[in-house]
Amino acid sequence: MVEAQLRKRGIRDERVLRAMLEIPREEFVPRELRVLSYRDDPVQIGYGQTISQPYMTALMAEVLELTGTETVLEVGSGCGYAAAVLGTLASRVISVEIIPGLVELARGNLRRTRRDGNVIVVQGDGSMGYREGAPYDAISVAAGAPDVPASLIEQLNDPGRLAIPVGDRDNQELRVVWKQGGRIDSRVATTCRFVLLRGGEGWN
């Protein structure tokens, strides 16, 4: 997976590659679908949600340019895999999930794989961020939004970086947004297709 799907497709951050080499992705995939764990495809995890394809997980981590000292907000815990990756790359991760069943799934997966030391999973409307832990040096949103939520921009540190899929219900662009000196800039990293961001600043 790391060599064929990540390095050969342009992922260059060695810390990201090492994290994804170390973390057992199959431990975050439903047992009956573990044969699909290392394909470059999303996999269903229940509740109409998926674990993102490995390349997208790596790309979203890479564009945040984490050095190991950051506090990171993740929106959309899912099964906890991306939170485990981010936890390997940053000092602290707060992961917010709106679906109660997935909160328990992510917590269990992180605990079983011993990746919960600096990662906490909370239930809530991640489209509104998580003010209790703000500001965040980096924010990763694992669901497609109609626009960049104002709450996330507000809770982003200065300087800080945000990765978020933005578009319509079927197709999005992965935007990398950064705050520097009070100014907000952005670029498009790639096209993508994510499950929808639910909540007050997401889709109904």
Specify the long-range contacts of residues 4-13, CB closer than 8 Å, at least 24 apart.
5/40, 5/54, 5/55, 6/54, 6/55, 6/58, 9/55, 11/55, 11/58, 11/59, 11/62, 12/62, 13/61, 13/62, 13/65
Whole-model pTM: value is 0.96
Q: Contact 190/174 with Cβ under 8 angstroms?
A: yes
Q: Is the predicted pLDDT of residue 158 greater than 90, yes or no?
A: yes
β-bridge mates for residue 174, sequence order: 165, 190
Residue type, 128: M
77 is catalytic: no
Give every CB contact of residue 20 below 8 A, 6+ residues apart in sequence.
1, 2, 6, 54, 57, 58, 85
* Domain residue limits, the chain: 2-192
60-75 residue pLDDT tens: 999 999 999 999 999 9
Q: Which of 37, 52, 95, 151 is catalytic?
A: 52
Query: In CATH, which superfamily holds the domain spanning 2-192?
Result: Vaccinia Virus protein VP39 (3.40.50.150)
16-49 residue pLDDT tens: 999 999 999 999 999 999 999 999 999 999 999 9
